[in-house]
Structure 1
Amino acid sequence: MSAPNRIFDDLSKLMTNAVGVAQGAKDEAQTAFNGWIDRWLADRDFVTRDEFEAVREMAIKARTENAELRARLDALEGKTGA
């Protein structure tokens, strides 16, 4: 009765190893694909989301400062009667 059990054990080990190899191949393919995508995007001079958000925040701050300065100028012009 030990012979069928040994066959099943060997088959189980073989399947486990096959799943491990398949997972490794999947991970390697994913890494290669991600590298290709990164290079493709870099060649097109796209910005990252972080870079976009940083510039967006700078633009919002600049608009706010411009509005505040405009209000100060308007107030100064009102005082001088210009």
Structure 2
Amino acid sequence: MQSENPIIADFVKVANSAAGTLAGMGREARDNARERMKEAMGGLDFVSREEFDAVKDMAAKAREHAEALEARVAALEAKG
């Protein structure tokens, strides 16, 4: 049977506690960094993908409409 040295047992407890604390601090630091990045990026006026796609579709329709109007004007000018 192996006898347990109290100094070694205390050291193991402290080491385990320190490892748990360091792991928790790492998670907290990562979460804080992620939050700060979100805050920083939020102030840069980025648009969502949905907003970008909606504006892109609107621009394409406006371009098609302008081309149709140009064709009508050209046809009217050719007649007159």
Classify the secondary structure of the residue corresponding to 2:4. helix
Equivalent residue for 2:44?
46
Calculate percent identity across the aligned residue pairs.
Answer: 16
Q: Which residue of structure 2 lines up, in the alignment, with residue 25 of structure 1?
A: 25
How far, CA to CA, are the matches of 1:63 and 1:25 in structure 2? 48
Runs of 5+ unmatched residues, structure 1: none
Match of 2:53 in 1: 57
RMSD of equivalent CA atoms: 3.3
Gaps of 5+ in 2: none
Note if 1:2 corresponds to 2:3.
yes
Q: Secondary structure at the match of 1:3?
A: coil
Q: CA–CA distance in 1 between the matches of 2:55 and 2:43?
A: 21
Counterpart CA distance in 2 for 1:9 and 1:58 is: 64
Distance (whole Å) between structure 2 residues aligned to residue 68 and residue 78 of structure 1: 15
Q: With the length of structure 2 as denominator, give the TM-score of the two structures.
A: 0.56
Q: 1:56, 1:36 → 2: CA distance?
A: 25
Q: Measure, in 2, the Cα distance between the counterparts of 1:35 and 1:23.
A: 19
